[in-house]
């Protein structure tokens, strides 16, 4: 479960709405504390990529709930295929199928065999056209950051209203400094976790705890396996913990490390700041909008040396960032998010 799933669950609870999706892991939903939200499944998806994505698009395209609800909020890379039949609607854009657009060439290059690259190029070419055709049925677009809105405008030609994602800031508290750094993200290649491993390999006196699991399919699993095989002695990986445990790790850490490539928003950075903890993040994407450089942490290039220097700078006096971090995180509280979303509903 990542930030997108947390957002959908928070929104459904706040609006008293149902969630219609494909795969559901109710144990993870319970761990997140959203067991009261009603979730309707369109059925599980196959594991193999890209058949998994194709099946998801088909399931959303074929479903029909227009007689049961009076408004539809579409969220995620494939739910917008339901927009043709379900009006009025709005589409909340988290990152929008980056493999079709800004990560297209990088993804194709990462494949090992020429045949795989050829197949990927053909699949992306076809389905990016279908993607654009589906988006044309969306009535209104809401983006999770100015960065995401700009990217959506660039690639799909649609304007967006920005409503920042929610963070339940009341769940997070400063609990001291136990001397370790924290990293919270899915184990996906675009998260560039290898930068974190290499940086902490150079800092044996610092410790890093990575919280994150991998998705199904070769794309994520192969990367996750590679990361697990390269952990330095001072780095620990936790694949699945409860929300309460995660809040505890935030509360006791020294700061957060965030290295995701062009991260659309970066909810973990706000969760860390809500815990009074500074953030060392790459100077890209949504981090530029949430982290105040030199005040609530540091924005750095995706460079190991810069990450090392920023970590050492924070470690000199981690406490000095506490109150400004908490103040900054308050701008993204759940209440503000729900107010912004309700204002867009008829």
Can you list the positions of beta strands (E) in 69-143? Answer: 72-75, 89-93, 141-143
pLDDT tens, position by position, 274-291: 999 999 999 999 999 999
Q: Number of folded domains in the chain?
A: 2
Give one word for 240, left, alpha or beta, with left for phi > 0 and alpha for psi -120 to 50: beta
Same domain, 147 and 101: yes
Same domain, 144 and 202: no
Same domain, 117 and 232: no
Helix, strand, coil percent content, the chain, rounded in steps of 5:
45, 15, 40
Same domain, 162 and 184: no
Same domain, 15 and 158: yes
Same domain, 24 and 145: yes
Contact in structure between 140 and 123 (CB atoms under 8 Å): no
- What interhelical angle do 3-15 and 267-274 show, nearest 10? 70
Same domain, 198 and 221: yes
Contact in structure between 263 and 286 (CB atoms under 8 Å): yes
- C-alpha–C-alpha distance, residues 330 and 172, integer Å: 11
Distances (CA, A) of 337 to 11, 57, 141: 9, 28, 15
- C-alpha–C-alpha distance, residues 341 and 332, integer Å: 13
- What interhelical angle do 193-201 and 304-316 show, nearest 10? 60
- C-alpha–C-alpha distance, residues 151 and 270, integer Å: 22
Assign 183 to helix, strand or coil. Answer: strand
Find all residues with CB under 8 Å of 50, minimum gap 6, and list them: 123, 127
Is residue 222 very low, low, confident or very high in pLDDT (cuts 50, 70, 90)? confident
Q: What is the mean pLDDT of residues 163-172?
A: 94
Same domain, 193 and 275: yes
The least confident of 24-33, 123-132, 269-278, 323-332 is 24-33
pLDDT tens, position by position, 311-321: 999 999 999 99
Contact in structure between 234 and 209 (CB atoms under 8 Å): no
**How far from chain centre, in Å, is Cα 58?**
24
Same domain, 162 and 267: no
Same domain, 134 and 50: yes
Can you list the positions of beta strands (E) in the chain? Answer: 19-21, 39-41, 72-75, 89-93, 141-143, 161-162, 180-184, 207-211, 235-238, 255-258, 279-282, 297-300
Quote the domain boundaries for residue 27: 3-166+335-342
With 0-12 CB in 10 A as exposed, 13-18 as middle and 19+ as buried, what is 170? exposed
Q: What CATH number does residue 87 fall under?
A: 3.40.50.2000
pLDDT at 3 over 80: no
Same domain, 108 and 209: no
Is residue 4 very low, low, confident or very high in pLDDT (cuts 50, 70, 90)? confident
- pTM for the model: 0.87
Contact in structure between 308 and 199 (CB atoms under 8 Å): yes
Same domain, 146 and 200: no
């Amino acid at each position: 479960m990542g930030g997108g799933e947390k957002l959908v669950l928070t929104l459904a609870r706040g609006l008293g709405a149902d969630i219609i999706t494909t795969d559901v892991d109710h144990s993870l939903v319970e761990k997140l504390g959203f067991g009261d939200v009603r979730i309707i499944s369109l059925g599980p998806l196959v594991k193999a990529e890209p058949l998994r994505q194709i099946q998801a698009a088909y399931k959303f395209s074929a479903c029909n709930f227009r007689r049961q609800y009076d408004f539809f909020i579409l969220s995620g890379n494939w739910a917008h295929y339901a927009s043709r039949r379900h009006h009025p609607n709005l589409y909340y854009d988290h990152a929008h199928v980056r493999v079709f657009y800004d990560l297209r060439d990088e993804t194709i290059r990462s494949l090992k065999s020429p045949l795989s690259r050829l197949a990927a190029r053909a699949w992306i070419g076809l389905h990016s056209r279908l993607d654009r055709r589906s988006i044309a049925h969306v009535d209104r677009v809401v983006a999770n950051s100015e960065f995401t809105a700009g990217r959506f405008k660039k690639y799909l030609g649609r304007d967006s209203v920005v409503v920042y994602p929610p963070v339940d800031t009341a769940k997070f508290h400063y609990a001291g400094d136990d001397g370790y750094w924290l990293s919270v993200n899915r184990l996906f290649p675009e998260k560039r976790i290898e930068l974190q491993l290499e940086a902490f390999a150079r800092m044996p006196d610092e410790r890093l705890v990575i919280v994150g699991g991998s998705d199904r399919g070769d794309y994520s699993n192969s990367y996750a396996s590679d990361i697990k095989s390269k952990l330095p002695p001072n780095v620990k990986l936790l694949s699945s913990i409860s929300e309460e445990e995660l809040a505890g790790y935030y509360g006791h850490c020294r700061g957060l490390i965030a290295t995701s490539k062009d991260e659309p928003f970066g909810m973990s950075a706000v969760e860390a700041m809500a815990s009074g903890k500074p953030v060392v993040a790459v100077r890209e994407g949504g981090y530029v909008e949430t982290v105040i450089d030199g005040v609530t942490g540091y924005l750095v290039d995706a460079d190991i040396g810069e990450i090392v220097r920023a970590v050492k700078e924070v470690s000199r006096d981690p406490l000095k960032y506490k109150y400004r971090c908490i103040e900054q995180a308050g701008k993204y509280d759940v209440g503000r998010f729900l107010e912004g979303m309700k204002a867009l509903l008829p």
